[in-house]
A and B are shown apart, each in its own frame.
Chain A
Amino acid sequence: AQSVSQHNHHVILSEAASLELGCNYSYGGTVNLFWYVQYPGQHLQLLLKYFSGDPLVKGIKGFEAEFIKSKFSFNLRKPSVQWSDTAEYFCAGNTGFQKLVFGTGTRLLVSP
Chain B
Amino acid sequence: DTEVTQTPKHLVMGMTNKKSLKCEQHMGHRAMYWYKQKAKKPPELMFVYSYEKLSINESVPSRFSPECPNSSLLNLHLHALQPEDSALYLCASSQDGGDYGYTFGSGTRLTVV
Contacts and interface: CB of A to CB of B under 8 A. Distances in A.
A100 interface: yes
A102 interface: yes
Interface of B: 31, 33, 40-45, 48, 50, 55-56, 90, 92, 94, 96-107
Main secondary structure of the interface of A (DSSP, over half): strand
B50 A102 contact: no
Interface of A: 32, 34, 36, 42-46, 49, 51, 90, 94, 97-105, 107
A43 B42 contact: no
A43 B90 contact: yes
Nearest to A103: B42
Contact of B102 (A46, A51, A105): A46
A104 B38 CA distance: 11
A32 B42 contact: no
Contact of A98 (B31, B44, B101): B31
Given A32-B98, A32-B99, A98 B50 contact: yes
B43 A98 contact: no
Contacts of A98: 31, 33, 48, 50, 55-56, 94, 96-98
Nearest to A6: B42
17 contacts: A34-B101, A36-B104, A44-B90, A45-B104, A51-B100, A94-B98, A94-B99, A98-B31, A99-B48, A100-B33, A100-B45, A100-B102, A102-B44, A103-B42, A104-B42, A105-B40, A107-B40
